Chain A
Amino acid sequence: MSTEPSSTGESAQPSAAELQARVEELEETVADLEADAEQQKMTIVATQGTFDMAYPPLILASTAAAFGWDVVVFHTFWGLDILHEEKSENLQLSAVGNPSMPMPNALAALPGMDRLATRMMESRIDDNGTATIKELIDLSLDQGVELQACQMTIELMEYDEDDFYDDVTVGVGAATALQHMAESDIQLLV
């Protein structure tokens, strides 16, 4: 045993300055965690490219952004068409197999029926003061919603990255979507 108080014994105890630094570091971590906990997050996976199925993800996303939430909509398969500048303007309502259509399937399957059904719906949307798909896309992007286009399906569908609206995020895959989903309070598949 040493007779003198060793310097090693003293250095085992953190100094006041070290403790102070550690406390500040932990306070910062707690502040970050609290900020994260307050920020609500939502992830929607949009897989459908029909006229009617384009609405729910866009309406929920733009509304969630109005709540100040961090929102990602991951578009994959036919959901890509919602973000496709050209196709987005021509999304069709499917008359066949749609029980809400006032016509039997045999009639609904005739050529031109999808177009007719879509026109009817478009006119109702106009009369009702409901926003168009394009308006909802612009609104969502303006409000900071991240609209993602799945890279794998862009290639599968033989689309070009330039086919999509400006500010659409490309070059992302399932892992990116999952990462946001894992942090989200709400996850929806449409």
Chain B
Amino acid sequence: MSVNYDVTETLDVKGESCPMPVVKTKSAVDDVPEGGVLEVVATDKGSMSDINGWAAGTSGVELLEQVEDGDVFRHYVEKTA
């Protein structure tokens, strides 16, 4: 599965567990300009469900895709507003 997004910024939260991936994603997305895409790289298995839930409950962001890549989970979040 190849993912081709024009990534504005990458956040590395490998090795960190709940609630850090979500909390750091929120902080990082605040600094992304509108229309930009944040890539979050995590190893927390809960991040697949958590970042999905966070994006669904947060205005101004859209979860484009989540990719499981071995032990690593990649999340692509667009800042829409």
Contacts and interface: CB of A to CB of B under 8 A. Distances in A.
A171 interface: no
B54 interface: yes
Given A67-B57, A68-B59, A139 B23 contact: yes
Contact of A66 (B16, B17, B25, B44): B25
Contacts of A136: 19
B72 interface: no
A67 B2 CA distance: 29
Contact of B18 (A59, A68, A139): A59
A131 B54 CA distance: 19
Interface residues of A, number: 14
| Chain A contact residues, majority secondary structure | helix
Interface string A126-137: 001111000010
Contacts of B27: 66, 143
B33 interface: no
A62 B23 contact: yes
A63 B17 contact: no
Interface in B1-54: 15-20, 22-23, 25-27, 44, 54
A88 B20 CA distance: 20
Given A66-B27, A68-B59, A130-B18, 15 more contacts: A59-B19, A63-B18, A63-B19, A63-B54, A65-B26, A66-B23, A66-B26, A66-B54, A67-B57, A128-B17, A129-B15, A129-B17, A131-B17, A131-B19, A139-B23
Interface of B: 15-20, 22-23, 25-27, 44, 54, 57-59
Interface of A: 59, 62-63, 65-68, 128-131, 136, 139, 143
28 contacts: A59-B19, A62-B19, A63-B22, A63-B23, A63-B54, A66-B19, A66-B26, A66-B27, A66-B58, A67-B26, A67-B54, A67-B57, A67-B58, A68-B58, A68-B59, A129-B16, A129-B17, A129-B20, A129-B44, A130-B17, A131-B16, A131-B17, A131-B19, A136-B19, A139-B23, A143-B23, A143-B26, A143-B27
